[in-house]
Structure formats: structure tokens, C-alpha cells
Chains A and B, each alone.
Chain A
Amino acid sequence: MLILLTGLLLGGTYTLIALGLTLQYGVARIMNLANGETLVAACFVTFWLYTGFGIDPLLGLLVIGPGAFVVNWLIYTWLMQPLVKRASNRGMLEVDSILATFGLLFLFQGLMLQAFGGSYFNYEFLAQPFSIMGNSFGLNRVVAFVAAAVIATGLYVFLYHTDRGTAVRAVAVDPRAARLVAIDVRKTAAFAFALGGAITACAGTLLSTFYTFNTSMGVIFTMKALIIVIMGGVGDVRGAVLAALVLGVTETLVASLLDPGLTLAANYALFIVVLLFRPQGIFGKRPA
């Protein structure tokens, strides 16, 4: 039971990490390698707001989320759209966006390095025991889990029960067909990219309450997110959530029962299994 709960909490953390990327990659078709840097940048901003101005990280979300939305919207319209326009097929866009976001990765990292230096940072926030069924967990992790659940549910309702959300899903499935039914693909993609960035930043804010972070850590988060996104099916919110939870529980199982040294190996084993049997993702439909 303890293992399951710990695993689910970890899965919640992973959900946060992966949701933003699944929108950016699935809908806007940008494989954003700077995703992890966005997350770490949010960690730093949260740290700065909290220790410098005494702004509660949960309140900080209200500033950081919209801020990241605007920044990412600008990034998409200024930097990514030219690539989308010039790419003649998805393969080319993939290569171009990998290269461009790789540049962004360095740029962000460099800027953070200038601003904060390379040392480790952390701060104490809600590091109190919170008891669930007789086991005690960090309140900060529980809060992050609840936030992940809220964000995922909100996103689900938005995507599956609003017109705008349906448009986003349509673009994810087929941009060309979406255009035929009078969806402004460009705007929708920009919106999805920005929303993805905002969610990633919120994830960073929440993660910073219980993780120690430094400037160079972004790539770790990007990797995790990519694995989850692929496992869940690109652009599929339900799949990403499920994949994240499965991954969290598996890792905790392996760490508790086998050996914590094998968690990453378990990660990949799971990844390969999914690839071999459901290459289109957990919920994905096999393309015709």
C-alpha cells in the first residue's frame, strides 16, 4: 500500500512534467527540447519570488502560469512559425524544431547561469508530514499531486467538452483536415504551444517545493517527459496521465522490491514493451 501510494505521488509529479510537452509536441508538432529548461526556469522564478518577496509558491502559480503562456506564445509565433511554414513535411519540421529548440535550451541555460549561477538551490515549503492511511508523506508532494490532478482534469474537460478544445484535438489528429473544417490551424497550434509552456512552468513551480535544482538539470526532465509522452501516445492527455502513473508506480515498485539502481532500466524496459506492442501509444489508434 505504501509502495502504491508513493508510486502514485511520484506519478503525479511525472504527470506534471509530461502534460506540457504532450500539447507542444502533439498539437503544435514542436519537439521542444527546451521543455526541461522552461521547467527549471520556473523553479528559479518561484524560488526568487518566495525567498525574495515572500510570495507563496501556490500564489506564484498565478503569476508564473500566465507569464509562461505569453513567453511561449511569443516563442512560437516568432521562432517556430517560420519553421512550420518552410517545412514541407513532418520529418523536416521535426529535425528543424529539434535543432531550434536545442539552441533555445542553451540560450535558456546560459541566461539562468548568468542570473543564478550554477549552484544547487532549494527552499522549504510545506515540508510537513501528511498522513494517508497511516503512512506519512510530504505535504508538498501531496499538494503537487492534487494540483496535477486539477490541471489534468481541467485540461481534459477543456479538450473534450469545449469547442476550442475540440479544435485543438482536431489539429493534433490532422492539421490539413482541420483546416478544411475552418479551424485556424496556426492560431490553434500557437495556443497549444503556449498552453503547454504554461503547464510546464506550473509543473516547475510545484516541483521546486520538494526538489533540489540547479541550472543544468533541465535535460533530465525533458527526457522523462519525452518517454511519458511517447508511451501515452503523442498529444493524448489521458494517455500521458496513465503512462505517468504507471511509470511512477513501476519505479517505486522496482526501487522498493528490487533495487533503486535499476529504476531507469525499468523505465526503458517499460518503454520498449509499450513500443513493441502498442507503438501508437496506450490510447493511440493505429493509423490507417
Chain B
Amino acid sequence: MLRRSFNVLMLSAALAAGTFSAAFAQDPVRIGVSASKTGPLAGGASGVLWPNIKLWAEKVNKAGGLKVGDQMRPIEIVEYDDKSSPEEAVKNIQRLATQDQVDLIIPPYSTGLNLATAPLIAKYGYPQVVSTGNANDLDQFVKRWPNTFWLLGPAQGIADGIVGTLKDLRDAGKIGNRVAVVNVSDAFGLEMIKTGKPALKQAGFDIVYETSYPLGNQDVAPVIASAKAANPDAFIAYSYPPDTFALTEQAQLQKLDVKAFFVSVGGNLDGYGKRFGAAANGVLIMGGVNASDPVFQAYRKEHLAVTGQEADWWASPVAYASLEILQQAVEHVGSLDKQALNKEIQSGTFKTVIGDIHFENNINNNNWTVGQWSDGVVHGVRATGNIQGAQPPVLKPAWPSN
């Protein structure tokens, strides 16, 4: 009774295909999602996770469905809002597992909610392919819950990326030794600064200014002013969307001209490039993509066409890849047996929009860590593991005066 099916996607796809093919006579594969539609996490989830689920479901159904063994079965998304709260998330997972009895689960958005729901998802045996969260002690976590898979890799890799880029630039004699580093004081910012700061010191950088500011604070004029007073060569911000925009705008206004300007989450949004236009040129961001890869370019086009919004330059393709991994695992295994799926994801290799993915101890160690804006496009300039296609970073030109 407490069931609710979301056939709309499926139906529209079927109608678009022009006919109900034989495939649709099959029982649909039910795939459950619990993620944020309201609350503080909704901003990120509706930019990254929800559109990709829509895109994926539509694409799979257009192609005739999900191949389970020798059957082509349509997929049906059962979705719930977790209101950005762990209580709701836990309850939703229970509902998906025991009431809706879905075949697969797409895990929630954010590190916190993924960690909170992991015990339950593990209890019911579903693979949990996390595309929107990471933490420092993932090994410990994976040992406890071997059905969790971490596409973004450990937090260390991401935080250290920019340090490596700066080190390369300095060793080439292009920038000096003085770094200003700021972070937003929430779970993400602290994880980042915790590994980023020692890495900076170890690389021999001189941290001339460092501070943190509260989440949601958009009045960062004092932060930029103090950073500027310290006269740094490079500026690193482990930041979130609202403050990423605010920091960039203030840096531009106050002419904080550094040779390397780095922002984190938010800098990867397509809106960032649109908002700052030419001023964004040379800005370094967290994450990145191989922008010249035709597979990625095709994905971007589809994303815009189906969801009406642009994919971002880091997280969107990763979120999409997590769905492709689920899909291919089912195809490889030939059934929806959860244990077999977990095994396959642990050992298999998957062709995704971000390249070939293979998990080592449930963690993906091949990730873009730094990208750089250039004329409305982000090019990956640094990655962990063996990702190809990185471009050499360029020094940031002075902020244009408008």
C-alpha cells in the first residue's frame, strides 16, 4: 500500500521511442533513491545527483532497458527526499529495502548521509557506490562495510592535488613560496585542511595567512582583505558554493592578484564560468575532467538536452559514472543477485564517462584533483593514479578590470 512508483520517466522514454517494444512487457527493475530535495544539502544534490539519475534512467530505457541475463528490462526509479537529515535517510532506506523491495539502491548525496546509511544498506546487502562523498579513513570504513565503494577516492588525494600543482609551478620557478589558505569550517573544509596544510608545509611552502570561516558566510571581504595584506603568491580556498562565488568576487574587487588562485566545490559548476566570464580564466578548481575526451563532450550535450541544466566539470560525470557502474555490473553478472553484484564491482573494470574504473579495495584511486578554467571550459591539470589527458597548468593572469 505504501508503494509509489515513478513511471513517468519510463513512460516518457517509451513514448519517445514511439512504441512499446517487447522489452517493456518485462517487469521493470526497481531502483531506489533517497537523497536531498530540501534542506541544506538540496543545493548540491539537485545540481549533481538528481539530474544524472534522470538522464541515466531515460537513456537506459530509450535503449530498450537494462540487460539482466538475456532479458531487457525497463528501469523504474523510486525516489524519496531525505530532507538532508540522517533520520529521514535511514527511514527511507528501510522503506526502499523492506516496503518497496527495490532491486538496487542509489546512495544519498554527501559524505555524512552516506556514512549514516551505510550500516543499513549493508544489512540488506545492496552495493553502495558512493559518488558524492569521501573521507580520510576510508580503509577502516571499507573493512566494516565491504559493500561500499568510493568513487572519489580518499580525501587526502583531493586535498593534496593543489599542493602538488603549486609545488610543480614553484619548482619550475614560476611562482614564489608564499601561500594563503582558507577553508570553510564544515566537515568538508576541515577534512581538506587537515591533509592540505601538512602537505603544504612538507612541500616547503610558507603559509603566510590561514583562516576558516563559517558555512554559509558570504561576507568574506575581511578574509580576502587579510589574505591580500599577507601578500601571497598563491591563494587556496577549500570552499563551498556560496562562499566560492563570494571569495572570487571579492578577490576580483579587491584585486588580490596571485599567480595561482584555487577554489573548491562550486568552482566546478558551469555557472561559475558563466558568472565570471573572462575573469575565470586561469582559476584553478578542485576536481576536473578531461574536456577533450569526446565521450565526456557527448555526455555534456545529453545532460543539457535531457535535464535542461548544464553538467558541471567534476562531480556530474562522476555521479553518472556511478550509475554506469551499477548498470554494467548487472550486465556482467547477468542477474540482480546482490552478493554477486558486490563481488563484480569489487573486481571488475567498468567503462564510464570518466574513463575506465577499477576499484582497489573498494576505492577508486584514479581521480582528477585539479582543473583550470580556460575560456568557459575546465581542463584537468592534475590527477591521481593513471588518468591521461592532463594539461599543464598556466599562471593566472591579473583580474581583468571591468
Instruction: Check if B37 sits within 8 Å of A6, measured CB to CB.
Output: no
When the two chains form the complex, which single residue of B36, B40, B214, B255 contacts A260, counting CB atoms closer than 8 Å? Answer: B214
User: Scoring B residues 15 to 44 as 1 if CB is less than 8 Å from chain A, else 0, what string do you get?
Assistant: 000000000000000000000111110110
Give the docked Cα–Cα distance between A213 and B43 (Å): 9
Given the known A-B contacts A123-B275, A129-B255, A138-B250, are A212 and B47 also in contact in the complex, defined by CB atoms under 8 Å? Answer: no
When the two chains form the complex, which single residue of B43, B219, B252 contacts A127, counting CB atoms closer than 8 Å? Answer: B252
The verdict on B249 contacting chain A, using a C-beta distance below 8 Å, is: yes
Instruction: Check if B40 sits within 8 Å of A216, measured CB to CB.
Output: yes
The verdict on B223 contacting chain A, using a C-beta distance below 8 Å, is: yes
**Which of A67-75, A78-86, A113-121, A270-278 lies at the binding interface?**
A113-121
Instruction: Check if A10 sits within 8 Å of B43, measured CB to CB.
Output: no
Instruction: Check if A122 sits within 8 Å of B275, measured CB to CB.
Output: yes
**Which of B130-138, B162-170, B238-246, B357-365 lies at the binding interface?**
B238-246
Q: Which residues of A contact B242 (CB under 8 A)?
A: 120, 211-213
Give the docked Cα–Cα distance between A129 and B249 (Å): 10
**Which of A26-34, A161-169, A248-256 lies at the binding interface?**
A248-256
Q: Which residues of A contact B249 (CB under 8 A)?
A: 127, 138, 210
Interface residues of A in 219-252 (CB under 8 A from B): 220, 251-252
Instruction: Check if A113 sits within 8 Å of B250, measured CB to CB.
Output: no
The verdict on A3 contacting chain B, using a C-beta distance below 8 Å, is: yes
- Give the top 9 A-B pairs by smallest Cβ distance, nearest first: A118-B42, A260-B213, A118-B46, A256-B222, A212-B242, A255-B222, A214-B43, A119-B47, A212-B245
- Hey, which bits of chain A sit against chain B, CB under 8 A? 2-3, 6, 9-10, 13, 109, 113, 117-124, 127-129, 136-138, 210-217, 220, 251-252, 255-256, 259-261, 263-264
A137-B253, A255-B222 are known contacts; what are 20 more A-B pairs with Cβ within 8 Å? A2-B225, A3-B222, A10-B221, A13-B219, A118-B38, A118-B43, A120-B47, A120-B269, A127-B249, A127-B252, A129-B254, A138-B250, A212-B218, A212-B245, A213-B242, A215-B43, A259-B212, A260-B212, A260-B214, A260-B217
19 contacts between A and B (CB under 8 A): A6-B221, A10-B221, A13-B219, A118-B37, A119-B309, A121-B271, A129-B253, A129-B254, A211-B242, A212-B245, A213-B242, A216-B39, A217-B216, A251-B219, A252-B222, A255-B223, A260-B220, A261-B214, A263-B214
